[in-house]
């Protein structure tokens, strides 16, 4: 049974349930694969309803802290380290960094080549669209608008490749990255000038220069990687990145 028997307050029940289950795992020294109490036991122990508990469990599953088998038996997940307690924030940071790192690697494989292809095929209309996007980037705005303009810029380059398969792949990557990149834009990009970061790419496309476009996009993604490295902490690293 859970060692902490205090009923959870009515406010923030899901968050409190997440923290309580993680605390229980730490206090009992449970390791990945060890079974957890049943949902009925947890509901009784914490004085929490089934809906709130299920939401908490779903969050823990996403974080890799809990695994639920087909028989609905819960066990400790692979992200729990037996040598020290885990917190939801720590697990989220770890997953965020892993996802950003992997997606950045995919971007660095695909987007520079897409930019090079776009430089060979881009139309005057799409060049004008990119110029308008960069002009909008120069104006004061909120993080949501910055993120939207960045998404538009990269989507327009994908469109300029005139390769529907590549456009689809890049959209899938962008959709996967969107929640994480949106979070990055919320992290106060006071020193980040979106227009200046995108200008070299735009100029290379206007010049119809594939090599310069490839390099400009590679450099742009590199800046993103450095931002992630310096702004997202993980358990094993002091700080992590973004772009």
pLDDT along the chain (243 residues), means of 10: 44 78 85 89 89 84 75 77 55 58 82 97 97 89 78 95 91 72 57 78 97 95 72 41 38
Structure token digits, residue 180? 């994480």
Question: 133: Cβ–Cβ under 8 A, 6 or more apart, which residues?
Answer: 149, 152, 153, 156, 198
Question: 86: Cβ–Cβ under 8 A, 6 or more apart, which residues?
Answer: 22, 25, 26, 65, 79, 80
Q: Provide the CA 132 distance to its chain's centre, in angstroms.
A: 28
Distance CA 228, CA 225 (A): 5
139-146: long-range contacts, CB 8 A cutoff, minimum separation 24: 143/182, 143/185, 143/186, 143/188, 143/189, 144/182, 144/185, 146/185, 146/189, 146/194
Residue 37: name the closest of 75, 82, 68, 64 by CA: 75
Task: For the full predicted model, state whether its pTM sits above 0.85.
Answer: no
Q: What is the pLDDT of residue 19?
A: 84
């Amino acid at each position: 049974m859970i060692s902490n028997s205090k009923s959870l307050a009515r406010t923030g029940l899901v968050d409190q349930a997440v923290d309580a289950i993680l605390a229980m795992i730490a206090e009992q020294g449970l390791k990945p694969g060890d079974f957890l109490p049943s949902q009925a036991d947890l509901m009784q122990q914490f004085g929490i309803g089934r809906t709130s508990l299920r939401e908490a469990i779903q969050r823990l599953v996403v974080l890799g802290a809990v695994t639920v088998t087909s028989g609905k038996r819960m066990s400790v997940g692979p992200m729990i380290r037996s040598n020290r307690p885990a917190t939801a924030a720590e697990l989220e940071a770890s997953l965020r960094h892993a996802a950003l790192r992997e997606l950045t690697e995919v971007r660095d494989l695909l987007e520079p080549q897409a930019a090079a292809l776009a430089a060979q095929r881009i139309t005057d209309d799409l060049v004008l669209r990119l110029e308008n996007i960069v002009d909008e980037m120069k104006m004061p705005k909120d993080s949501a608008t910055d993120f939207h303009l960045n998404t538009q810029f990269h989507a327009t380059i994908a469109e300029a490749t005139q390769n529907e398969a590549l456009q689809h792949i890049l959209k899938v990557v962008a959709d996967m990255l969107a929640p994480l990149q949106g979070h990055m834009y919320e992290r106060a990009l006071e020193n980040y000038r979106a227009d200046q970061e995108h200008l070299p790419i735009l100029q290379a496309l206007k010049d119809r220069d594939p090599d310069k476009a490839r390099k400009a996009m590679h450099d742009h993604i590199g800046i993103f990687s450095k931002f992630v490295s310096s702004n997202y902490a993980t358990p094993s690293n002091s700080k992590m990145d973004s772009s």
